[in-house]
Amino acid sequence: MLLDLLPVSLKKYFEMSKRQRKHEMQSTLWYMPAIYISAAIAFVSLTLILDLVLELDQYTPSAFRVSADITRMLVSTLIGGILTLSAFTLNSLLVVLTTFSGQFSPRLLLNFVSDKQTQHCLGIFNGSFVYVLVIFLFTGNSSAKEEFVAVPVITVLLAFVSAITFIYFINHATTWMQVHNITYTMKRSSEQIINQSLRKDLESYRTEEPGDLMENEQENTLNMRATRSGYIQLIDYHSMIHEAQKDDIIIQLNSQVGDYILRGNSMMSYWGPGADQINENKYVQMIELGHKETELQDINMGMHKLAEIAIKSIGNNDPKTATNTIHQMAELMLTVEQDITFTPYLKDDEDQVRVILLSESFDYYIYRGFGYIRHYAKDNHLIITELVAALGLVAGSIDSSKHDMLWEFACNTLDHIEERVIYKLDKTFLLNAVKKLAKTTDHLLDYYEIERRFYPQEK
């Protein structure tokens, strides 16, 4: 009942899961400043107790004692100074956000806003301003005979910290905007999704052997439908497996994290001896839907951000940025191959399969990573050459069972290159990259066919 009285912007946090709420709060500009402001108010109380209750001036040398008039003048002056620094910081923040949105991707705004350094800088400015403002209110009516020690010392220290923070923030913003740092940050963000979310949520339950899938019960398969529309943001796999084990059923997910579904669409199918007696609502609540995509369990979202940087750079005639992005994407492929087991079966503690995911393979991630870049590169042979070279680097570092997927992706890319309009040196470097990939993937004979297509024998 009380939730209905809250504005929508606050009400949504109470309707989220604990994990989603933590992620959303840490991605807002007010989260860390709110903590600093709360700490500043508590610090005001401590400062006033030291000066007005414990009378710290009686125990300190005269050099540290400041009269009430000078203290008020100092505090009132620093209020304007700290506020000016805060205004410049916010202006710089808006410039950075505008640059990110226009030159790279509007989806990068959230990454900069949620960056810990950005949040701490804004928190320091807001906390310092609130501190000096509240201190001014309590010292404004002090008698001229009173002397302060803690108030002026701490106020000066805060002004010094604010000045250093301002310099740090400008350096942080300019460093963050550098292309190689942006692409590296996006790659690290996707790796964290794999290491912290996917590995923790899925890998401990995966099994390559399907075992007993209760085929005799599948003819009585039932569907659970979405109660509202939205993107699948989060799936509680642990609880789903545990409850499926208690109910003695097998659940097959019909969508995956990041997919958009409409109200009434089938989210899950289930069958088993206990299928007729389950409470569907508890399983539906294990899948969190929202109006936007999130990166909590969706590595595709992170890969799309990284690919979008390359796409924007191609459109802005900036091949170096696209090349750097391709290299970071290649490194991300190593993490995908190493840390993700490509099996859809999730088992319980008794080795019985309880949840079946949508099937994914390594070539699915190859397409998600390089497919968009390839599409927008079109006849940009320099970018295509770098892409094929990156595939060769990936092939040299992963298991040979994935080599055919890399080779097929490269061949499909070359099928759409017009051989007659490519420059001679572009053709030479492209074929060199293809040959290197062919040697690594053991497709050298196939390479010679490609070479003959680019250099047809004259009749």
Beta strands in 124-276 (DSSP E): 147-148, 206-207, 222-225, 230-235, 250-253, 260-261, 266-271
Contact between 407 and 414 under an 8 Å Cβ cutoff? The reply is: no
Write down the pLDDT at residue 226.
Answer: 92
Residue 3 has pLDDT above 60, yes or no: no
Neighbours of 436 (CB within 10 A): 18
pLDDT (mean) for 250-268: 92
Write down the pLDDT at residue 144.
Answer: 55
Total residues found in the chain within this entry: 459
Rank 180-184, 197-201, 220-224, 289-293 by mean pLDDT and report only the highest. Answer: 220-224
Mean pLDDT for the chain overall: 84
Q: List the helix and strand counts (H, then E) for the chain.
A: 19, 11
Cα–Cα distance measured from residue 11 to residue 371, given in angstroms and rounded to the nearest whole number = 39
For every residue of 424-456, DSSP letters joined together read HHHHHHHHHHHHHHHHHHT-HHHHHHHHHHHSP
* pTM passes above 0.75: yes
Compare 105 and 345 and report the one with higher pLDDT: 345
- Structure-token match 């420059």, residue found: 423
Nearest in space to 79 (alpha carbons), one of 186, 159, 25? 159
Write down the pLDDT at residue 38.
Answer: 92
Rank 13-22, 79-88, 445-454 by mean pLDDT and report only the highest. Answer: 445-454
Residue 44 has pLDDT above 70, yes or no: yes
Cα–Cα distance measured from residue 102 to residue 267, given in angstroms and rounded to the nearest whole number = 36
Strand partners, 346: 206, 355
Our CA angle for 18, 21, 22, nearest 5°, is 85
Which uninterrupted H or E stretch holds 110? helix 109-113
Nearest in space to 57 (alpha carbons), one of 66, 49, 48? 66
Write down the pLDDT at residue 174.
Answer: 82
| Chain segment 192-201, per-residue pLDDT in tens | 777 766 777 7
Residue 295 has pLDDT above 50, yes or no: yes
pLDDT (mean) for 356-377: 89
Compare 227 and 9 and report the one with higher pLDDT: 227
Write down the pLDDT at residue 225.
Answer: 92
| Chain segment 144-160, per-residue pLDDT in tens | 567 778 888 888 888 88
pLDDT (mean) for 429-455: 91
Going by pLDDT thresholds of 50, 70 and 90, the confidence category of residue 380 is confident
Our CA angle for 404, 409, 415, nearest 5°, is 120
Write down the pLDDT at residue 142.
Answer: 64
Strand partners, 289: 232
Residue 459 has pLDDT above 50, yes or no: no
